[in-house]
Structure 1
Amino acid sequence: MPRLELNPNFTDPDAFYAALTSLHRDRSEAESERINARLILLLANHIGEQSVLEEAISHAGLVGDK
């Protein structure tokens, strides 16, 4: 069963961050929320494995709660 990759796995994290922040630049809060929702669904579809998605949801819910 696949597991959620929690170790750094970006080929170029700075480029990803730059592209993501550029995408949100000059957008309204509502537009940014819609973009984030679409991005989440696209990446979830790419992952595809329900157990991995549930593990990601669980980890995401811990942010700020530690």
Structure 2
Amino acid sequence: MSLILTPNLVDPDGIYEKLIALHEGRDAADSQRVNARLILTLINHIGDRETILEAIAVAAGGKV
């Protein structure tokens, strides 16, 4: 599986709104916890080690 870096999301604005709403009313520590849970849930869903490592490199600024 190769990491998709081009727009690939139906209703990106709606998803963004849900993501912002997820953090409403949370303090910084709780927002970090919920982000970690979301990231780990998505990593588990992807399941492919190489794709996950590629995403980590992109997030770290290693490549786009």
Equivalent residue runs for 1:1-66 within 5 Å: 2-62=1-61
4+ aligned runs moved over 2 Å, structure 1: none
Residue type of the alignment partner of 2:5: L
Q: Distance in 2 between matches of 1:23 and 1:54?
A: 26
Query: What percentage of residue pairs aligned between the two structures are identical?
Result: 48
For normalisation by structure 1, the TM-score amounts to: 0.91
Q: How many residues are aligned here?
A: 62
Q: TM-score, normalised by structure 2?
A: 0.94
Q: What is the rounded CA distance, in whole Å, between the counterparts of 2:21 and 2:2 in structure 1?
A: 30
Following superposition, the deviation at residue 38 of structure 1 comes to 0.1
Which runs of 5 or more residues in structure 2 are unaligned? Answer: none
Alpha-carbon distance in structure 1 between the residues aligned to 2:36 and 2:5:
21
* Structure 1 alignment gaps of length 5 or more: none
Could you say what the CA RMSD is over the residues aligned between the two structures, in angstroms?
A: 1.0
